[in-house]
A and B are shown apart, each in its own frame.
Chain A
Amino acid sequence: MAARRGPARGPTGARFERRRRAAAAMAEEPPEDGAARTLPSLRQLSRGLPFGRSHGRLGISASGRLTLPALCSQENLDAQKTAFVLRKAWTLYSVTPLYGFRRGCLRDYARLLSAFIAAEKQKGLAVEVGVELDIKVALSSLADLRGSELDQAGLLVQLSSRSRASSRNSEDKLLWSGWFCSMFGDDLSENVPENFTCLPLFLTHGAESYTALVGSWFQKTFDCCFRRLAISPLNLSWMVAMWAGYKLERAASAVELVFSMPRLSHPLDISYAIHPEDAKALWDTVQKTPGEITQGEVAIFMDCLYAHFHRHFKIHLSAAKLVKVSTGIASAHCDGIVKILHSQYLPGVLMLLTELAISQIQ
């Protein structure tokens, strides 16, 4: 019996039954030994993360421990609806809660945003000089993109163009997309008053100028604040350890870590790519409890990789900056850019990113 974990309690002391059910839904199957082992609740999950929700400080908490969603249940996610997420490079932002957002008014918001963009273009802040573009705005809800019932459904914003010069039947060209999402982001949503909508993670794909336009409209309309979400080397190492351990049916791409030593007189970049089977084999011997990762295990995994490298090259990789990690599941860059390759692991990846976003907000 996992007595080490107490029942889930929020800051007000109330229990959170719904979250336990969510946690149960998250795990793939009950523990094999049949013992009535309490699945660690989400509360514990978030508290333990080095992504740093503990008391709002970014950093490693003493019990850095994360429970993996492993293979998240597929019923919640329609692969077709979420296909747009895959294989694109998304730039990450954290967003503070939106005030006064009404789910029923999406069409009105689309109209207002469209008018705002047109007005900005009139002002001379044209996004593309010399090109006559009609920008069409579409807002839609992504009911499937949420973790638990406590999460808000995702919100997708798309900017398309129809060139005035082309014929009436020409197709709209998608110029830019951005979506708000909360994947098990309950830690934030339970603490906010009424009238606030929590969608802490914002992902964009497309020109920076459009991101600025959409961002400033949301900021003005819902009194929220956007900030670029950087990913620290520590968090990148968590991601690579976690993703290297996932099983993939087909031959996957290598587990790659990219290090940079920018401050040398001749900057040096090192790409360290490991065969995915070998990386998984190493991680499997490091990870002691299936379904759970600790900070210590991530550190050992990284130390093993550093040691193997040092044995050959006599270079201390730990002295370099980890800037990018890439696996068959997903890749992440320290500037806050991710690419997700597998719909099966989408919830897990989004959950991590939501955590990062929330810790940046708090």
Chain B
Amino acid sequence: MDETVAEYIRRTVLKMPRDEIKMMLQKWGFLSEAQLQTLNFHQQKDNISQEVVQLCEVNPLNSYFFLDNHIYQNKRMWSVYQMKKSGEEEEYFDIADFKKKFKGRIRSALKNVTITFKEYEDNAIWIRVAWGTPHKKPNQYKPSYVVYHSQTPYVFISASVLKSNLPLLCQALIVASNYRDIREMELRSHSLNSLKDIVFKRYSQNFQTYSPKPVQGWNVEAENADRRIVHENRSVKERIHRLNQESFGCGPQPKLEFAQYRLDTMFKSDPKMDVLDKKEPFRCLVKFSSPHLLESLKSLAPLGMADAPLSPLLTCITHKARNYFKIREKKESFVSP
């Protein structure tokens, strides 16, 4: 086995939290169940990793590189790209052809790369690319990951720091998948599944239906409401709740961690205040961050920290599939290009 590969496996196992090693090796699927049984997980991590390397040497070299995938699952930043077809022809997707063309395109530009593929049950094709230079072997510790669902025009890319290789990666994707063009969407998150939920519209959407009466028997009160107060502001609370439902939908929200707005709008103030009245925009950059941004925003109005309905700039995140915005002034409302 190549020395660098052995080193890579050893280092990656060492990075795993001790109590998760077994689970991650199982998920990795490279070693058979029988091989995993032979491992002693109660010894020093150093020894465990050595044993893993020895076991790997027995296996044929194949997709071992996905080992690091599970460690950084939620630490990686994913961007979403959308591909455009040239015509209307529905072509049959041939995975072997895809792999061949992808590898071919990358290798024609760069010799020192490691490209590995893995197919998952949900029709997702994972591609891992480790980049080198004409003079250096591929860096296995900073790979790019690509996730492609062949029945859709969407690609999810976790580029890693080597951003200069991104154009080549994009090119290889459109060549391999027979698309004409690819563009980056303004949508980024650490949670790949949430990104999929948003672009594949797998969350519960807010339907603009009018319900004259709130559903019976459901609890309007916020968590820290005083139980002794029963009727106070009930109608206000119900109204807020209903408006919130309309904006956000009833189901759980996709998990995003941040949203960013570049504001290029005018500063408008009460004329009595005698303050700034410039003809140029008041330039701001606003960033929202939270472990679960959409649920957090949803909770603001019921707690009185925001008006209901919440601004469409925030509620449009899921159905516009973006969390990066540039807002300009347009007469009375806001536009985002």
Which A residues from 242 to 295 make CB contacts under 8 A with B? 254, 261, 264-275, 278, 281-282, 285-286
Interface residue? B275 (CB, 8 A): yes
Report the stretch among B147-155, B161-169, B186-194, B283-291 that lies at the interface: B283-291
Let me know if B276 and A281 touch, CB within 8 A: yes
A-chain residues with CB within 8 Å of residue B309 when the two chains form the complex: 314
Q: Scan B297-328; emit 1 where CB is below 8 A from any A CB, else 0.
A: 10110011111011101100000000000010
A-chain residues with CB within 8 Å of residue B296 when the two chains form the complex: 261, 264-268
Interface residue? A37 (CB, 8 A): no
A-chain residues with CB within 8 Å of residue B292 when the two chains form the complex: 266
Let me know if B299 and A313 touch, CB within 8 A: no
Q: In the assembled complex, how far is the CB of residue A51 from the closest CB belonging to chain B, in whole angstroms?
A: 25
Which B residues from 224 to 275 make CB contacts under 8 A with A? 261, 263, 265, 267-269, 273-275
Report the stretch among A102-110, A225-233, A315-323 that lies at the interface: A315-323
Taken together as a complex, chains A and B put the C-alpha atoms of A264 and B285 apart, in Å, by 23
Interface residue? B293 (CB, 8 A): yes
B-chain residues with CB within 8 Å of residue A266 when the two chains form the complex: 290-293, 295-296, 299
Taken together as a complex, chains A and B put the C-alpha atoms of A311 and B313 apart, in Å, by 11
Taken together as a complex, chains A and B put the C-alpha atoms of A145 and B263 apart, in Å, by 41
Interface residue? A309 (CB, 8 A): yes
Q: Beyond A273-B286, A282-B282, is A268–B293 a contact (Cβ under 8 Å)?
A: yes
Interface residue? B223 (CB, 8 A): yes
Interface residue? A86 (CB, 8 A): no
Q: Scan B191-217; emit 1 where CB is below 8 A from any A CB, else 0.
A: 000000000000000000000000000
B-chain residues with CB within 8 Å of residue A300 when the two chains form the complex: 273, 275
B-chain residues with CB within 8 Å of residue A254 when the two chains form the complex: 285
B282 in complex: contacting residue of A265, A268, A274, CB < 8 Å: A274
Interface residue? B278 (CB, 8 A): yes
Let me know if B304 and A319 touch, CB within 8 A: yes
B311 in complex: contacting residue of A269, A278, A312, A320, CB < 8 Å: A312
Q: Beyond A268-B296, A319-B305, is A275–B268 a contact (Cβ under 8 Å)?
A: no
Let me know if A313 and B273 touch, CB within 8 A: no
Name the residue among A285, A304, A313 with the largest chain B CB count within 10 angstroms. A313
Interface size class for chain A?
A: 20 to 34
Interface residue? B41 (CB, 8 A): no
Q: In the assembled complex, how far is the CB of residue B304 from the closest CB belonging to chain A, in whole angstroms?
A: 7
Q: In the assembled complex, how far is the CB of residue B314 from the closest CB belonging to chain A, in whole angstroms?
A: 6
Q: Beyond A267-B291, A312-B261, is A282–B276 a contact (Cβ under 8 Å)?
A: yes
Interface residue? A308 (CB, 8 A): yes
Interface residue? A307 (CB, 8 A): yes
Let me know if A312 and B263 touch, CB within 8 A: yes
A-chain residues with CB within 8 Å of residue B299 when the two chains form the complex: 264-266
Let me know if B303 and A271 touch, CB within 8 A: no
Let me know if A320 and B305 touch, CB within 8 A: yes
B-chain residues with CB within 8 Å of residue A314 when the two chains form the complex: 306-307, 309-311
B-chain residues with CB within 8 Å of residue A319 when the two chains form the complex: 304-305
Let me know if B267 and A312 touch, CB within 8 A: no
Shortest Cβ distance from B274 into A: residue: A285
A268 in complex: contacting residue of B261, B269, B288, B313, CB < 8 Å: B288
Interface residue? B126 (CB, 8 A): no
A-B CB contacts (within 8 Å), total count: 117
Interface residue? B64 (CB, 8 A): no
Q: In the assembled complex, how far is the CB of residue A98 from the closest CB belonging to chain B, in whole angstroms?
A: 43
Taken together as a complex, chains A and B put the C-alpha atoms of A171 and B296 apart, in Å, by 51
Q: In the assembled complex, how far is the CB of residue B22 from the closest CB belonging to chain A, in whole angstroms?
A: 31
Shortest Cβ distance from B327 into A: residue: A312
Q: In the assembled complex, how far is the CB of residue B326 from the closest CB belonging to chain A, in whole angstroms?
A: 13
B-chain residues with CB within 8 Å of residue A309 when the two chains form the complex: 286
Let me know if B275 and A273 touch, CB within 8 A: no
Taken together as a complex, chains A and B put the C-alpha atoms of A278 and B269 apart, in Å, by 14
Name the residue among A254, A261, A269, A314 with the largest chain B CB count within 10 angstroms. A314
Let me know if A267 and B269 touch, CB within 8 A: no
A-chain residues with CB within 8 Å of residue B307 when the two chains form the complex: 314-316
Shortest Cβ distance from A255 into B: residue: B284
Taken together as a complex, chains A and B put the C-alpha atoms of A309 and B287 apart, in Å, by 12
Let me know if B282 and A278 touch, CB within 8 A: yes
B276 in complex: contacting residue of A270, A304, A312, A315, CB < 8 Å: A304
Taken together as a complex, chains A and B put the C-alpha atoms of A118 and B255 apart, in Å, by 52
Q: In the assembled complex, how far is the CB of residue A285 from the closest CB belonging to chain B, in whole angstroms?
A: 5
Taken together as a complex, chains A and B put the C-alpha atoms of A264 and B267 apart, in Å, by 30
B-chain residues with CB within 8 Å of residue A320 when the two chains form the complex: 305
Shortest Cβ distance from A309 into B: residue: B286
Taken together as a complex, chains A and B put the C-alpha atoms of A315 and B300 apart, in Å, by 8
Q: Beyond A307-B269, A312-B261, is A272–B305 a contact (Cβ under 8 Å)?
A: no
Interface residue? B334 (CB, 8 A): yes
Let me know if B310 and A278 touch, CB within 8 A: no
Let me know if B275 and A274 touch, CB within 8 A: no
Q: In the assembled complex, how far is the CB of residue B228 from the closest CB belonging to chain A, in whole angstroms?
A: 21
Taken together as a complex, chains A and B put the C-alpha atoms of A313 and B314 apart, in Å, by 7
Let me know if A275 and B283 touch, CB within 8 A: yes
Let me know if B290 and A268 touch, CB within 8 A: yes
A-chain residues with CB within 8 Å of residue B263 when the two chains form the complex: 312
Shortest Cβ distance from B295 into A: residue: A266
Taken together as a complex, chains A and B put the C-alpha atoms of A265 and B295 apart, in Å, by 9
Which A residues from 158 to 216 make CB contacts under 8 A with B? none
State the 3 A-B residue pairs at the shortest beta-carbon distance, nearest first.
A275-B283, A266-B296, A266-B292
Q: Chain A interface (Cβ within 8 Å of chain B)?
A: 254, 261, 264-275, 278, 281-282, 285-286, 300, 304, 307-309, 311-316, 319-320
| Pairs A–B under 8 Å by Cβ, sample size 18 | A261-B296, A266-B292, A266-B293, A266-B295, A270-B286, A270-B287, A271-B285, A271-B287, A278-B278, A278-B281, A278-B284, A281-B276, A309-B286, A312-B261, A312-B311, A315-B306, A316-B305, A316-B306
Given contacts A266-B296, A272-B284, 10 further A-B contacts (CB under 8 A): A261-B300, A266-B290, A268-B289, A270-B288, A274-B284, A281-B276, A300-B273, A304-B273, A304-B276, A312-B313
